[in-house]
């Protein structure tokens, strides 16, 4: 499995989408969340959108591999059924998740998991990217920026650090990471 993580706005979703379109043997792990669906998002494609109560019930029933309450009543997690769905197709799983979920998955799957931290060129550029999205209220943007600053401290907990300064270079480097990891696994 391949776990890509980064602070919000660092480009992990762009990189993951590129890898999925480039490699047929990869499939995307759809996370579950309780956050509000954005206009362009599709349930069961971008996320499994759940109510906080539905999420808590699944936690109680031990249906998650990992989960976290990121903000008050805003949960994210990986359903065990999602991993089973992808492995049943004989594909490698690609995750696009937050740093805590990524460290949890790496801890569980060890050498079968390549964990990549995508780092922005600077904190200032990352904050500008978040502001330019225009998807956040001032209050939620403030919370997100505070979280970004904490998440930047996790970078050394991962197998690889990929700096997303020039997108085309970062995309090619991500391809190489996948190819190198699979070559090592199949030697």
Q: Is 143 helix (H, G, I), strand (E, B) or coil?
A: helix
Average pLDDT per block of 10 residues along the chain, 187 residues long: 89 94 97 94 95 98 94 92 97 94 93 94 76 72 74 87 93 96 66
Asked, for residue 69, whether it belongs to a domain, the answer is yes
Count of domains observed in the chain: 1
CB 170 within 8 A of CB 162: yes
Task: Supply the pLDDT for residue 16.
Answer: 97
Structural domain span for residue 165: 2-182
Asked, for residue 48, whether it belongs to a domain, the answer is yes
Instruction: State the Cα–Cα distance between residues 178 and 183, nearest whole angstrom.
Output: 9
Enumerate residues 6+ apart whose C-beta is below 8 A from 104.
65, 66
Distance of CA 111 to the CA centre of its chain: 18
CB 71 within 8 A of CB 145: no
CB 18 within 8 A of CB 174: yes
Asked, for residue 187, whether it belongs to a domain, the answer is no
Check which CATH number belongs to the domain holding 71 and give it. 3.40.50.300
Q: Is the alpha carbon torsion for 125, 136, 95, 18 positive or negative?
A: negative
CB 136 within 8 A of CB 83: no
Task: Identify the DSSP state of 96.
Answer: E
pTM of the entire structure?
Answer: 0.84
Task: Supply the pLDDT for residue 127.
Answer: 75
Asked, for residue 167, whether it belongs to a domain, the answer is yes
Task: Identify the DSSP state of 88.
Answer: H
Instruction: State the Cα–Cα distance between residues 44 and 101, nearest whole angstrom.
Output: 19
Strands 31-33 and 74-79: antiparallel
Q: Is 138 helix (H, G, I), strand (E, B) or coil?
A: helix
Asked, for residue 153, whether it belongs to a domain, the answer is yes
């Amino acid at each position: 499995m391949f776990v890509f993580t980064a602070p919000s706005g660092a480009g992990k979703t762009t990189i993951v989408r590129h890898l999925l379109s480039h490699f047929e043997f990869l499939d995307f792990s759809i996370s579950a969340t309780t956050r509000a669906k954005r206009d362009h998002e599709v349930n069961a494609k971008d996320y499994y959108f759940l109510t906080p109560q539905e999420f808590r019930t699944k936690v109680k029933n031990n249906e998650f591999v990992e989960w976290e309450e990121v903000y008050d009543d805003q949960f994210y997690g990986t359903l065990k059924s999602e991993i089973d769905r992808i492995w049943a197709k004989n594909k490698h799983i690609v995750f696009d998740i937050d740093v805590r979920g990524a460290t949890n998955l790496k801890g569980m799957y060890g050498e079968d998991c390549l964990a990549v931290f995508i780092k922005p060129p600077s904190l200032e550029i990352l904050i500008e990217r978040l502001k330019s999205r225009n998807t956040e209220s001032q209050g939620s943007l403030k919370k997100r920026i505070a979280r970004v600053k904490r998440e930047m401290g996790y970078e050394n907990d991962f197998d690889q650090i990929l700096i997303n300064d020039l997108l085309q270079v970062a995309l090619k480097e991500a391809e190489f990471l996948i190819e190198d990891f699979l070559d090592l696994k199949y030697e």
